[in-house]
Amino acid sequence: MIRVITSRELLDLRRDKRLILGSIILPLILLPLIGGIIVASQIYHQPVILIVNENPLNNMYVNFLASSMKSQGAVVYINNYTEEPAVKLVIPDNFYINASVLNRSVYVYEYTLISSSSSASDIANNALYKLDVNISYQRILELEHNTTIPPAKIRYPLLVVEGYVSPTGVSVSSKNEELAQLSRIISFVMFPSVTPVVLFVVDSFAGERERRTLESLLATPSRTFDLLIGKSIASGIMGILSSFAEVLGLVLFSIAVPYITGQSFAFSISFLSYVFISLLVTVFLSASLSLIVLIAIGGSVRNVQLISTLILFLGMLASFAGMLLNLTNLSFPSSLILVIPYVQIAGGIQSFATGLWQNAILYLVATAVASALIIYFASRKFDPERVLLR
């Protein structure tokens, strides 16, 4: 009977070709689109910095600053400008004199436009730091004749050896760090893809209700459990199509980023496989949540909209949690956020990316089991009159 109901739902689904195309195309383009927006924002929205030089004798230092800031992607104007600068640096008239005297301080005036991007200020401060190092190094060279110690040993006494460790303390490579950053992006864009599943589950009942066919369907010998499972399987197939499209979008994004930015991007088949399984579990969870809320509040058109909004809100919450939080290292009571639906899936993706394999598998298994229990509970508590009349 489950097969009959599933076939009936799939036949109804095939008639709505726009829904099928939308469920495939939207996840396929979502991740590359967001990546393109990020890259475009870096290329076409470059921070603008103005340098006001009050004395031509400062040109050596002004050119040093301008070159440094341009190398970091900023648009630099000297004295005259055609775009409103986010940061203005004023090089005083006596700058070159103070820079050449050992015991004098050198002043630069920095003005930042309120509400502007912080990247312009960061670039300006990085360039000023490099200039500070350069002036300091030149002063040390003047003192070199008094000592046999190389100036670099005095100016750079601290050497930093960088490395990365997983949450368990195991040393990992920079590729793992790139993978961890990629997991945050995936968490942010994956949960909007639950939309087709949610809409199809609730709309299948609402459609039966509007067409007056749910009464006759419930009057057949099929069990309530068969009805719910059949509709869940049909909606799950829709979700699987979306999952394939999203994984393909992830592959396209990972391939395109190095060519666009010139930077390498971590990518592995095992991580891709885990993301795909996570998407399938997300589909399963979406179907179960849709069913339990539908049974709780009824299947009217207004309630269908409420159900979709509620579940999509949970997906958005998980998206921002996965993007902004480190879900692999939460202490109580912050760890309670993992109880919220979908958040544990984002936590699993982050755990896998950082090498916490056991936690990653545990999150998926626990979510899948909870989803199965929700569907079983929904089948036991299913009240046809509630769905028909409310």
Alpha helix stretches (DSSP H) within 325-383: 343-353, 357-381
Domain extent, residue 69, equals 46-161
Check whether residue 15 and residue 61 sit in a common domain.
Answer: no
Check whether residue 131 and residue 226 sit in a common domain.
Answer: no
Residue 362's pLDDT is 92
CATH number assigned to the domain comprising residue 73: 3.40.50
Q: Which of 161, 183, 199 is the last residue of a domain?
A: 161
Check whether residue 153 and residue 183 sit in a common domain.
Answer: no
Could you tell me the CA-to-CA distances from 22 to 105, 143, 146, 239, 242 in Å, in that order? 63, 71, 75, 12, 9
The answer to whether residue 88 sits within a structural domain is yes
Check whether residue 232 and residue 282 sit in a common domain.
Answer: yes
Low-confidence ranges of the chain (pLDDT < 50): 388-389
Domain count, the chain: 2
Residue 389's pLDDT is 47
Check whether residue 334 and residue 310 sit in a common domain.
Answer: yes
- The whole-angstrom separation of Cα 281 and Cα 349 is 12
pLDDT tens digits, 52-106? 999 999 999 999 999 999 988 888 999 988 888 889 999 999 888 888 887 788 8
The answer to whether residue 169 sits within a structural domain is no
> Do 88 and 77 form a contact (C-beta atoms < 8 A)?
no
Residue 325 DSSP code = S
Which pTM was predicted?
0.64
Check whether residue 199 and residue 300 sit in a common domain.
Answer: yes
The answer to whether residue 168 sits within a structural domain is no
Check whether residue 368 and residue 259 sit in a common domain.
Answer: yes
The answer to whether residue 167 sits within a structural domain is no
Q: Which of 161, 191, 214 is the last residue of a domain?
A: 161
Check whether residue 83 and residue 184 sit in a common domain.
Answer: no
Check whether residue 151 and residue 220 sit in a common domain.
Answer: no
What do you get for the CA distance between the two ends of the chain, in Å? 27
Assign residue 51 a region (left: φ > 0; alpha: ψ between -120 and 50; beta: otherwise).
beta
Residue 390's pLDDT is 53
Check whether residue 276 and residue 306 sit in a common domain.
Answer: yes
